Amino acid sequence: MRFDARTVVAPEWEDFGSFYFIVPQVEFDQLQESSMLALTIAWDNNLLWTWQKAMDELKATLQQISSCFGRLRKLDPKTTIISFQHFPSKGSWDISVKRALEIINGRESELVKVVLARCSKYIIDTTTDPLVLLASLKAESQNAYQFYIQPPGAPAFIGNTPEQLFHRKCFHVTSEALAGTRARGVTKAEDLQIGQDLLFRLLFSVSISSIKKCFSSIKLRFTFSCLHV
């Protein structure tokens, strides 16, 4: 979902629309002691989408996935970066950061949190399979969480985030907000003090308020705590 639907859409995001809601047709969950393969089948005879058509499409998807595993077994050829460019440049980026801090520190400013994004464009000498890139990220970043979304006919959107955006087990949903992350203390008492400080920090409270607002339409009970890692 876009942060601000009123802004002009960049060319690389046009095919994604304002938001993208996904019910996976095939979902593979790798758990600690086992793995689970879940298949979603939807059909409606009134819409001329029969059970048989739904099954045929599911079989085609499974066949497509099988061929992907074959591609992943092959080594990805070495790629060379021909050129790269950052938007905005380093100088413009520094000016934006300074300006944002001036606004936040203003006496009558309503701005409490800002995310300044940059775009980096790399030109390489070969075509890279998005699934191979995703597998490489998983191998290099074992403590991070990867995702890959690609609407039909659109570019691939691949993410590699240290945050677990959400985890659901039955009716229990957890989310990790790394906006409130700090280094561990030397002692348990110092850990406790840092944890209490985080819970009352402005940046962390903004994250909590945002989460509560998103789920206000459904009645959920919230508890917040600091995780010592």
Write out pLDDT tens, residues 41-66.
989 888 788 999 999 999 988 887 77
Residue from 10, 16, 158 nearest 87 by CA: 10
Q: Identify which has the larger pLDDT, 226 or 152.
A: 152
Q: Which helix (H) or strand (E) holds 45?
A: none
Q: Identify which has the larger pLDDT, 129 or 73.
A: 129
Write out pLDDT tens, residues 102-138.
888 887 777 766 778 888 898 988 888 888 888 888 8
What predicted TM-score, i.e. pTM, was given to this entire model? 0.57
pLDDT at residue 76 above 70? no
pLDDT at residue 78 above 60? yes
Confidence of residue 219 (pLDDT cuts 50, 70, 90): low
- Per-residue pLDDT, 92: 92
Rounded-to-integer distance, Cα 47 and Cα 154, Å: 27
Torsion, CA 57, CA 63, CA 67, CA 68, rounded to 10: 50
- Per-residue pLDDT, 201: 64
% of the chain surpassing 90 pLDDT: 8
Averaged pLDDT for residues 86-110: 86
pLDDT at residue 202 above 60? no
Inter-axis angle of helices 130-140 and 51-73, nearest 10 = 60
pLDDT at residue 71 above 60? no
